Amino acid sequence: MAGNAKTESGTEDGPLATLREKAAKNPVTEQLLNACQEYLRAKAERLMSTAGSKLGEASKRLAENAENAGGGSLGSLFGSKGKGGSGGKKVINIVEDIDVGVPVREAYDQWTEYQKFSSFAKGVTSADRADDTTSNWRFKVFWSNRSMKATTTEQVPDERIVWTTDGAKGTIKGAVTFHPMGENLTKILLVIEYYPAGLFEKTGNLWRAQGRRTRLDLKHFRRFVTMAGEASGEGWRGEIRNGEVVRTHEEALDAEEDEDEELPAEEDEEDEPEDEEQPRRRTRQPAGSR
């Protein structure tokens, strides 16, 4: 052991040798010293065995990764497992809700005015509707700009919108639902699954930046539409099922106009008094007048 050197005569010199000389005078102390040495020797052998086993497992994983198309990530090398999503991608789940002081139609129509999001949402720099099912979005992430293409898979007016967003730095799956709570009160529920891929996106996840940004933008949306009292445009009233447009915006507006025209006619018919023919009664003449 360190600190104990052998002299030319073959005897040990050092603290351990001095301890042995003192222990030799007391059999109990010598027995305790020998037991301690055996314990330390066994502990050292166990540590060496465990370290060798882990090194062997790491080498085996490294060889397997090299064989499988050029290796894997450091997480797979050391046995860590990815969370959520396909391919081991980590998913960030965001669930937020907020009450907005406008009727459900106004809240829904304002949400579908995508080009207005940059007016109140701090993270959105621009947005535009490419066609009835797709839209283009640009976001500000720290000092970098990110572009994403959103595809609407389901949209029911005044009820729900479901979409997926693909970009080079991440993927988003989201759903927003609208729930009337009163004549001038609507609850909005937003659920997002976010798969970050960029460096800034993954770094932001360390302090839950995405969740805080979503919560803040919802508050900005509430301020924007509540202060106006109504949507800034007519929104998009079409309907989408399974990624296909089953009713266009124009068809939905025409159907609403037809309903509005039929409603007054029905009310007028209900207000008109019904002319019922009264049966004529024969007047009985008194006896003797015939």
Among 24-33, 222-231, 280-289, whose mean pLDDT is lowest?
Answer: 280-289
The secondary structure of 73-89 as a DSSP string is -HHHHTT----SSGGG-
> Which pLDDT score, from 0 to 100, does residue 76 have?
36
Whether pTM > 0.85 for this model: the answer is no
- Mean of pLDDT over the chain: 75
Which of the 8 DSSP states describes residue 207? G
The listed range with the strongest mean pLDDT (122-126, 174-178, 232-236, 270-274) is 174-178
Q: Is the pLDDT of residue 144 over 70?
A: no
* Percent over 90 (pLDDT), the chain: 36
Domains of the chain: 12-57 (no CATH), 86-244 (3.30.530.20)
Between 255 and 287, the more confident residue is 255
Which of the 8 DSSP states describes residue 132? S
> Which pLDDT score, from 0 to 100, does residue 282 have?
47
| 133 Cβ neighbours under 8 A, 6+ residues apart | 151, 152, 240, 243, 244, 245
